[in-house]
Amino acid sequence: MEKKYQKLKKIVERKLTKADAGHDINHVMRVYNSCLYLAKGEKGIDLEILKTAVLLHDIAEIKESERTCHAKLSAEMAQKILGKLGYPQDKIDKIAHCILAHRYRTGVKPRTKEAKILFDADKLDSLGAIGIARAFIWVERHRAKIYTNLPLKKYIKENLMGGRINGRIKDKTKHSPLIEYELKLKRIPNRLHARKAKKIAKGRLNYMKSFFDRFSKEIKGGI
């Protein structure tokens, strides 16, 4: 990494000292490496914008709450940090857009190549073996369940705002990795932009499906 990115990385590491293992600096660097892979061979990519955005995309993660979205806070923090470091305003604006658009909940759709790559790379980190690990970290963080046999339709009606599949979770202790997989994760490939990202996502989802199939059988004593 170039010196300026190493400097940003150290700033992010300090901010994420208390972050859980699913959103710490290791998550940031996995997404960083995925971004570089997805960007390789693509034309018209501004790597300075992409690298800077990915390093800062979760900088406000520990400030996440029911009322605050870490993507919005991260974009605001990034603007202040980059302003102090002398980045030109046009680049700051583009970086902030990438950060805002990396998450569904902000309602901001990725409109640049860099934003689409960051979105895809961030979503890939929620799939596959690493996605399973992160799902169980989330369970511990929110005192949720490792497994629930509540029918999906009933769960949506009772525990998601508005009874909608994309509604916010009312009671996180009733959530589980399998419900997260059924509600959100298996739908991710259809939301990705890059062909390479879609291919990776499908492979990782196949792994997750086989895991949850066996997991459910073990829970029920079937194996």
Domain map of the chain by residue range? Answer: 3-118, 128-219
Q: For residues 132 and 127, what is the distance between their CA atoms, to the nearest angstrom? A: 7
Give the pLDDT confidence score for residue 108 in this predicted structure: 84
Q: For residues 15 and 112, what is the distance between their CA atoms, to the nearest angstrom? A: 27
Place of tokens 């993507």: 71
What the block records as the tokens of 75 is 């974009």
* Other CB atoms within 10 A of residue 209 CB: 13
Give the pLDDT confidence score for residue 65 in this predicted structure: 64
Per-residue pLDDT of the chain (223 residues; tens, 9 = 90+): 689 999 999 999 999 999 999 999 999 999 999 999 999 999 999 999 999 999 999 999 988 766 678 889 999 999 999 999 999 999 999 999 999 999 877 678 999 999 999 999 999 999 999 999 999 999 999 999 999 988 999 999 999 999 998 888 999 999 999 999 999 999 999 999 999 999 999 999 999 999 999 999 999 897 8
* Pair 145, 121: CB distance under 8 Å: no
Question: The pTM is what?
Answer: 0.93
3-state DSSP assignment of residue 43: coil
DSSP 18: T
* Other CB atoms within 10 A of residue 90 CB: 9
Q: Exposed, middle or buried, 170 (CB in 10 Å: 0-12/13-18/19+)?
A: exposed
Task: List the end-to-end C-alpha distance of the chain, in Å, as a whole number.
Answer: 47
Give the pLDDT confidence score for residue 67 in this predicted structure: 66
Q: What separation in angstroms does the CA of 44 have from each of 32, 41, 117, 210, 220?
A: 18, 10, 12, 38, 52
* Pair 123, 115: CB distance under 8 Å: no
What is the CATH code of the structural domain delimited by 3-118? 1.10.3210.10
What the block records as the tokens of 96 is 């902030």
What the block records as the tokens of 79 is 């603007």
* Pair 142, 159: CB distance under 8 Å: no
Cβ neighbours of residue 127 closer than 8 Å, sequence gap 6 or more: 185, 188, 200, 201, 204, 205, 208
Q: For residues 26 and 100, what is the distance between their CA atoms, to the nearest angstrom? A: 20
Q: For residues 136 and 211, what is the distance between their CA atoms, to the nearest angstrom? A: 13
Give the pLDDT confidence score for residue 104 in this predicted structure: 76
